[in-house]
Amino acid sequence: MAARSFSRGPVAVTGIGLVTPLGLDAPTTWSELLAGRSGTGPVTAFDASGHQCRVAAEVKGFDPSATGLEPREVRRLDRFAQFALAATREAMVDAALAVPLAEPDRVGVYVGNGMGGLNTIAEQAAVLASRGPGRVSPFLVPMTLANMASGQVSLALGAMGPNLAPVSACATGAHAIGEAAEVIRRGDADVMVAGGTEAVIGALAFAGFAAARALTGLNDEPECASRPFDATRDGFVMGEGAGIVILESMDHAHARGARVHALLAGYGSTADAHHATAPREDGRGASRAIGLALSEAGITPEALDYVNAHGTSTPLNDRAETHAIKLALGQSAYRVPISSTKGALGHLLGAAGAVEAAFCVMAIAHGTIPPTINYRHPDPECDLDYVVDGTRHRPVRSALTNSFGFGGHNATLAFVAP
């Protein structure tokens, strides 16, 4: 057994895999994002005619064979696990890591999601009600457990290191990546497959979020329904997808000559302790997460080049996050470019933080800051630079992403150039 080697240094990001409403891989998603495209359209996954919200950011044209599994095996997996497997395959190729793994005991998996197999639960509940208990699928439990994406990725790779599925609502993806980096730093793994996945576009989730007054009602212009920081924003657009990154210790990445996209240098995790679904309006909890991530990364507010905001397009979140950024960055808050990519992708819930972390890494690697689309009406309480004038091409040496979840969960990740 290898001895632990504790380190508080940065962790290398060597691979990225994405499945999103803008594309079935990372390059396509990035290209469409920079072009200002919207992944939102009318709901096709179910009959939404009786619902208050009838728009969603759906993954289009997904082929389950991208998971690498046989059709029989795929049928036993909920869509959220399928997305995770597909994104993992891309991330592993991007990182040039082969399967079978050379040292499986030193490779771990932290892949979380917010709501598990909710659609499978709803479908099988209907079967129970209409056809009786004897007709419920024997795969109901393994299909719906929230940890199954992480478990299935471990099975697919043969990864025998630490395996966990963080669940913190819309902060899940960021927490999974931040905590996976901690596994490497404490010496329990050399490589971590980390991220988030979600697939709950269905009647039950739509009804629930609408009852909580969280979803948009702008059904006539689907592509404009998600409008972060805009004065007319009225709720988020539900999305689906997965984001996976490959994290490695610096020694391991250098020893195998890996290409390093960026370094995960800081991680902040706090709680609001305020309300089950609403953020603290003063931004105090979120601001502390930002400050912790910056401090650990050694980034001063003056040196920060980009913020990927949580920016959900809800009245409360966007205002509270603006306050949090001001608290954390002071006067530098007015200088730093900030964008919410949820204008293009909608809100991917448990996958959002991981996908947006990948965007920070890509912004550093490509020297490009993605835009916030659909911003038309300034809000006096949201008065920062939200990159509403299109893609910006400029060097990005440091970037951070915010993720905040129901329950008051806050997570911030800070990345720097290698």
Query: Hey, what CATH topology would domain 13-255 get?
Result: Peroxisomal Thiolase; Chain A, domain 1 (3.40.47)
Q: What is the pLDDT of residue 102?
A: 95
Annotated catalytic residue 393: no
**Domain extents in the chain:** 13-255, 267-416
Per-chain mean pLDDT for the chain: 96
pLDDT over 70 percentage in the chain: 98
Q: Which residues pair with 270 in a beta bridge?
A: 410
Q: What is the pLDDT of residue 1?
A: 46
Q: What is the pLDDT of residue 8?
A: 74
Tokens matching residue 407: 């329950």
Mean pLDDT to the nearest integer, 217-227: 97
Looking at per-residue confidence, does 4 or 400 come out higher?
Answer: 400
Q: What is the pLDDT of residue 140?
A: 97
Mean pLDDT to the nearest integer, 120-133: 97
- Which string of b and e fits 40-56 if b means at least 16 CB within 10 Å? bbebebbebeebbbbbb
pLDDT in tens, 27-59: 999 999 999 999 999 999 999 999 999 999 999
Judging by DSSP bridges, how do beta strands 338-339 and 306-308 pair with one another?
Answer: parallel
pLDDT in tens, 77-113: 999 999 999 999 999 999 999 999 999 999 999 999 9
Q: What is the pLDDT of residue 4?
A: 58
pLDDT in tens, 229-280: 999 999 999 999 999 999 999 999 999 999 999 999 999 999 999 999 899 9
Q: What is the pLDDT of residue 3?
A: 53
Q: Do domains 13-255 and 267-416 have the same CATH topology?
A: yes
Out of 170, 224, 360, 382, the active site residue is: 170
Return the amino acid letter for 182: E
CA dist., res. 290 & res. 350, Å (int):
19
Annotated catalytic residue 252: no
Q: State if pTM tops 0.75.
A: yes
CATH number listed for the domain at residues 267-416: 3.40.47.10
Return the amino acid letter for 212: A
Mean pLDDT to the nearest integer, 297-326: 98
Say if residue 191's pLDDT is above 90: yes
Return the amino acid letter for 341: T
Out of 310, 323, 360, 409, the active site residue is: 310
Say if residue 2's pLDDT is above 80: no
Out of 252, 323, 347, 409, the active site residue is: 347
Annotated catalytic residue 53: no
pLDDT in tens, 192-201: 999 999 999 9
